[in-house]
Structure 1
Amino acid sequence: MLIEQFETGSGGFVWENLQPDALFSKVQFHVYAAFDMQIGAEWNGSQFVNHYNRIYYVESGKAELQFTDRVLIMEPGYLYLIPPYQLLSHTALSKLSFKWVHFQASLNEGLDLFMLFGKPCRVKCPLPDDTSIQFDTLIQKMMIKRPSAALERQSLLLNLLLPFMHIFDDTSQQSKHLLHPSLVSCLSLMNQQVVNPPSLITLAEAANMSPEHFSRKFKATFNVSPKRYMLHKQIALAKQRLLRGAESIDRVAESCGFCDIFHFSRTFKKETGVTPSAFRREYDVRRLLKPKN
């Protein structure tokens, strides 16, 4: 739909319409999960990658977030934004009380706003009490399935994101924050073809690079090789199918692009630490979500 720049009303009244933002008008925000967590030394994960964005807000305690190129200390009074596909290890340094939300900020073809523009960062929380209340309200709204609650969740998420938006406010600087414009086309291709991953040559051609240059640039940007990026997406898809519990493991392997169940089981265990059948037993959705009397 074409938005007219100027419009006229009765009595000679003329106004200028605000035009859609070239970037943010395309973003679709969605909240996946939100929780208030108290945890200790067991909060210790090594070298993993997630496909969603995260915001952490620490109320007490201390932890360390270690990325390939930086370390962030989690401590009270700060908000932390972690874009998707960041290789991360985390360690609780003391008993930790923090609130968190997982969300998407999708553009097109499965791309994410913060995947394209962001690096892990933290900001001083301007209004800690308000932030805590916003998180509490968001957590409560996760239990409500009405469409109005979806709008409320999105509104609360946007408020939590506001302290991080300084990187977008200076439009002359946006191109500097765009981490990899030359990789957008190949990322779209990879997100579209998870089950039948495109070859390295195909991806390099989409990025208009040689395969060697493409591999180096991709790994420098995402801290992971193109092959492992695609493997992570296949494993993530397999996890979802295993959690649903309806398909046989053979069928899950086939539907996620693995040549046979032996290759799938070996790869899945290497990536997750457990076999597909053990993963399904440990995270039995029907058991875990069964209402308690």
Structure 2
Amino acid sequence: MNPIRKQLIENNPFPFDLVYQNTKQPEHELPDHFHDGYELVYVYKGLGRFFIGSTFYDMREGDLFLLPPNTIHRAFPDEREPVTSTALFFGPLLMKWAGDDAYSPIRCFEIARKKSIYKMELAGAVRSQVEELLGRMHHERVHQSFGYSQAIVIHLLHLLLCLNRHSFTSDPSLGEAFALMPKWMKEILPYIDQHLTGPIGLSHLSTKASVSPPHFSRVFKQWTGMNVTDFILSKRIVMAKEQLVTTDENIEVIASHCGFESTSYFYKTFKRITGITPTEYKKKYRV
């Protein structure tokens, strides 16, 4: 299954949404998906796993996850103790008036993407502050008193400032789930990220991992929820989306850079996954 492009806020004049203290059973969670906006997930209680990019993280009380735009992810709540969390979504437009050359409110997301570390473990005063600010945004959104949208932006900027001041732990714990992952899986996921532009596939990757193709395929899907082909394809589309809006390269060059054999196949695949053509995407999201 290809990851779903979930539209939440992009056509909203006030690009903000909040799903407050929600508890989901495993069968109600979305499959692999990504958004064009920013997402923040804070865990109040419960257990689970969170697949983000190419890594599995444990989900526990006090954990906070930062999901930059176009980051493939999927939550796996524990069946007996499902996670209760708040998911916050906002678009880049909400941040355009904030910050200056020395400070960016979305710096924490930029660091998460650069380091491929999407989890923060909160405790003490920082955790209390995050919970309070999420509660205030929920209150403003529900009651919609005069100036509520401005109040939400103020609380959101305060929250991001709090997170930017709170450094990532030097060695984030990936938890028991990651510890149980086969060594070759831990090595092959970053290898895929580093070789998306080349001709990689099941045969090549299984040889690299020194396991049989059937075993590789079975274990890979068990841990990622996707088959090898769909996983690689999804990663390439995410790479293409970023290049479409951040470079001046033409679409043919981008298709080649992202590992697509032909421009026509790139167009067809891009539209099937995102709902629009590469040209339309570039016009819509190019700043």
Per the normalisation by structure 1, the TM-score is 0.51
2:200 matched residue in structure 1: 198
CA–CA separation in structure 1 for the residues paired with 2:161 and 2:116: 26
1:37, 1:97 within 8 Å by CA — same for their partners in 2? Answer: no
**Matched length:** 199
Distance 1:185 1:219, change over 3 A: same
What do residues 259-282 of structure 1 show as CA deviations (whole Å, max 9, x unaligned)?
222111100011111111111121
1:12 matched residue in structure 2: none
CA–CA separation in structure 1 for the residues paired with 2:111 and 2:248: 27
2:250 matched residue in structure 1: 248
Cα displacement (A) at 1:213? 0.7
Correspondences of 1:124-143 after superposition (within 5 Å): 127=125, 129-131=128-130, 136-137=157-158, 139-140=160-161
1:81 matched residue in structure 2: 65
1:243, 1:280 within 8 Å by CA — same for their partners in 2? Answer: yes
Correspondences of 1:204-215 after superposition (within 5 Å): 204-215=206-217
1:197, 1:230 within 8 Å by CA — same for their partners in 2? Answer: no
1:282 matched residue in structure 2: 284
Cα displacement (A) at 1:129? 3.9
2:17 matched residue in structure 1: 39
CA–CA separation in structure 2 for the residues paired with 1:139 and 1:200: 40
Cα displacement (A) at 1:185? 2.9
Structure 2 SS opposite 1:258: coil
Identity in percent: 22
Distance 1:211 1:97, change over 3 A: closer
Q: Which amino acid aligns with 2:109?
A: H
2:41 matched residue in structure 1: 56
Q: Which amino acid aligns with 1:130?
A: Q
Structure 1 SS opposite 2:109: strand
Per the normalisation by structure 2, the TM-score is 0.52
2:80 matched residue in structure 1: none
What do residues 72-108 of structure 1 show as CA deviations (whole Å, max 9, x unaligned)?
xxxxx9654378643369xxxxxx88478636668xx
Distance 1:82 1:181, change over 3 A: farther
Relative contact order higher in (CA < 8 Å, ≥ 6 apart): 2
1:234 matched residue in structure 2: 236
Q: Which amino acid aligns with 1:102?
A: F
Extract unaligned runs of 5+ from structure 1.
1-35, 60-64, 69-76, 90-95, 142-151, 169-173, 286-293
CA–CA separation in structure 1 for the residues paired with 2:177 and 2:128: 35
Correspondences of 1:114-129 after superposition (within 5 Å): 127=125, 129=128
CA–CA separation in structure 1 for the residues paired with 2:220 and 2:270: 23
Distance 1:271 1:99, change over 3 A: closer
Correspondences of 1:61-76 after superposition (within 5 Å): none
What do residues 192-234 of structure 1 show as CA deviations (whole Å, max 9, x unaligned)?
2111132312211222211011011011101111111211121
2:262 matched residue in structure 1: 260
Extract unaligned runs of 5+ from structure 2.
1-13, 20-28, 52-60, 77-85, 91-107, 134-154
Correspondences of 1:155-170 after superposition (within 5 Å): 155-158=165-168
CA–CA separation in structure 1 for the residues paired with 2:185 and 2:43: 34
2:201, 2:228 within 8 Å by CA — same for their partners in 1? Answer: no
Distance 1:98 1:198, change over 3 A: closer
Q: Which amino acid aligns with 2:236?
A: Q
2:109 is matched with which residue: 102, 109, 119?
102
2:39, 2:66 within 8 Å by CA — same for their partners in 1? Answer: yes
Distance 1:157 1:48, change over 3 A: farther
Distance 1:46 1:279, change over 3 A: farther
CA–CA separation in structure 1 for the residues paired with 2:213 and 2:121: 38
Structure (1 or 2) with the greater strand fraction: 1
The structure with the larger Rg is: 1
CA–CA separation in structure 2 for the residues paired with 1:158 and 1:54: 17
1:111, 1:188 within 8 Å by CA — same for their partners in 2? Answer: no
CA–CA separation in structure 2 for the residues paired with 1:179 and 1:257: 27
1:31 matched residue in structure 2: none
CA–CA separation in structure 2 for the residues paired with 1:208 and 1:104: 33
